[in-house]
A = this chain, B = another copy of it.
């Protein structure tokens, strides 16, 4: 599943556009290769088409989506909505397994932590950022860049109904201000049963042929009313057919196609294997935890899905990166670029040292990654309540500061999301908190060592499970009103409450160490990489031209392609599955058990209805929920996955094998009509 999860130790950079093959590319809207598209697919896209599609797109947390009616109806994946379903569930009333359909407008349920944004404007701010950082290095470069960014964002974000992000594209080659309309009142309209949305479960994940109704509908509200969304996609009841030209508009989360070799080595040799081992162990913990009771299974379900999905996705990426041919190609490409640059001695003097500087920063990263990840980045304290405590403590220190002096995550531009999460009434489960906090404290002791001063300070004579239990027992932060009071009361309120709250006490005790290691990372790793990848980007633009697409950055992109199968073990896999096929694959046992509604409706359904479809569009995690669009601008499907070969897409695009997978709009219509009786939604889609 293509949900995007930010991973520790990852950095994104720019990507190979000049040598882009076939349907390769996650293009920005202001640099879309119209001529190339026409040459390859014989169709000419208009600016009007592009503008309409851009404004019809929606971004969710880690996912993509689109408007599909003028009343704020949003189509996305089930797996992009499942955390909302879980947050609205209780032991007595589960929404995940049975799904949910709001029969009336009044039944639409507000998601506690969902934000939806709509891109309305892009402005190039490269000059302003580069002027601010000119001639600076290290901490000074970092401070200047952040201050300029914060100022630009603050000027733009005139109200909480807007969201303004300065985005680094081509790894600092271009800085752009992305201005979004922000919706924080997002409600649940329809979600099918989990068993049909994720039919085949982990074994079928990233596989094709596939039979998943991974679709759901939300609605964005403004002032308590459905938002008016003029730009929206027309819903096609037909879906996509073999050979159709298809577009995907959405927010690919991150690719690493143009990292330097030193950065790729770090990912291949350090961050990916470390992350995979950690996910594998967590998977074991959650699997066995879930077996304990039905309720445990329910509360751990989305966590286990995230872990299994992440493990499979990252293992695929890792396999791709460890392919010696892939890596040799990366090494050769870097060598060639540097050789071409060297032909111009003056430019080479300015830009040439960038690669070695980045390599040195990777060496430093290897040295500090463990304390940085465990002490500052949450690997040592995997607990929602810890996160809340840290946000409160840091907000009390940061908010009195000038906007540009604050930690990134507490700048004005970020506050609406911070507050939405901090004041969310979503349940926090003690059993799960105990599991994750104990496991992360144990892992911190294991990785930093029992004799590390920080570990000794945190654990003292306590065992990890004992400390976890004491911390969770002695905090009052489960209560949303308490959080609000502390947030609003600032430093004085925190000071007064800290002695009586174990989590606040811990966070305050370690905050100095945590900030110190973060500062080291920012100054000695991040600033060096950012500064020098700007130079690499410059070199690339000069040598290879600007007809390139940037590496994915969880910002809006457009990719083009076609409905097409692929060859697997010598056999062609046809690009489209049908509803009839799922009844053959079903075994009656999870994850191949059909929900009762589907068993009952079998004879009513047209078995020939296209179900899932494979296309050549170049996408990656974060594109989940993206609309699959035809030339007419109609939504013909919703992206939810890639085939197993697409996982190497983090590093390169393989036109022969890389495929994105969507659920066909025709299957969604058929199910809404004949299984779910979701007349209200169908009528709205048909208007």
CB neighbours of A282 from chain B (8 A): 284
CB neighbours of A463 from chain B (8 A): 587, 589-590
Q: CA separation between A284 and B285, bound complex, in Å?
A: 4
Once A273-B273, A462-B589, A463-B590 are accepted as A-B contacts, the answer to whether A449 and B284 lie under 8 Å apart by CB is no
Cβ-defined contact, B288 with A203, below 8 A: no
Query: Which residue of B is nearest A276, CB measured?
Result: B277
CB neighbours of A292 from chain B (8 A): 292
CB neighbours of A281 from chain B (8 A): 280-281, 283-284
Cβ-defined contact, B587 with A446, below 8 A: no
CB neighbours of A588 from chain B (8 A): 461
Once A277-B276, A289-B288, A587-B461 are accepted as A-B contacts, the answer to whether A204 and B435 lie under 8 Å apart by CB is no
CB neighbours of A485 from chain B (8 A): none
Q: CA separation between A450 and B315, bound complex, in Å?
A: 18
CB neighbours of A450 from chain B (8 A): 200, 203-204, 207, 592
CB neighbours of A269 from chain B (8 A): 322
8 A Cβ contacts from A572-598 to B: 587-590, 592
Query: Which residue of B is nearest A203, CB measured?
Result: B450
Partner of A449, one of B207, B273, B286, B466: B207
Query: Which residue of B is nearest A323, CB measured?
Result: B269
Q: CA separation between A287 and B443, bound complex, in Å?
A: 12
Query: Which residue of B is nearest A591, CB measured?
Result: B463
Q: CA separation between A276 and B280, bound complex, in Å?
A: 9
In the complex, whether A202 has a CB less than 8 A from a CB of chain B is yes
Give 26 CB contacts A-B under 8 Å: A200-B450, A202-B446, A203-B445, A203-B446, A203-B450, A207-B449, A273-B273, A276-B277, A277-B277, A277-B315, A278-B280, A280-B284, A281-B283, A282-B284, A284-B284, A284-B285, A285-B285, A285-B288, A286-B288, A287-B439, A288-B435, A292-B292, A450-B592, A461-B587, A462-B589, A463-B590
Partner of A288, one of B288, B446, B461, B587: B288
CB neighbours of A322 from chain B (8 A): 269
Q: CA separation between A202 and B281, bound complex, in Å?
A: 15
What string of 1s and 0s marks CB contacts (under 8 Å) between A110-133 and chain B?
000000000000000000000000
CB neighbours of A435 from chain B (8 A): 288
Q: Report the minimum CB–CB distance from A450 to chain B (whole Å).
A: 4
Q: Report the minimum CB–CB distance from A360 to chain B (whole Å).
A: 16
Residue among A276, A284, A315, A461 facing the most chain B CB atoms (10 A cut-off) = A284
5 more CB-based (< 8 A) A-B contacts, given A203-B449, A463-B590: A203-B450, A277-B277, A281-B284, A284-B284, A462-B589
Q: Report the minimum CB–CB distance from A297 to chain B (whole Å).
A: 12
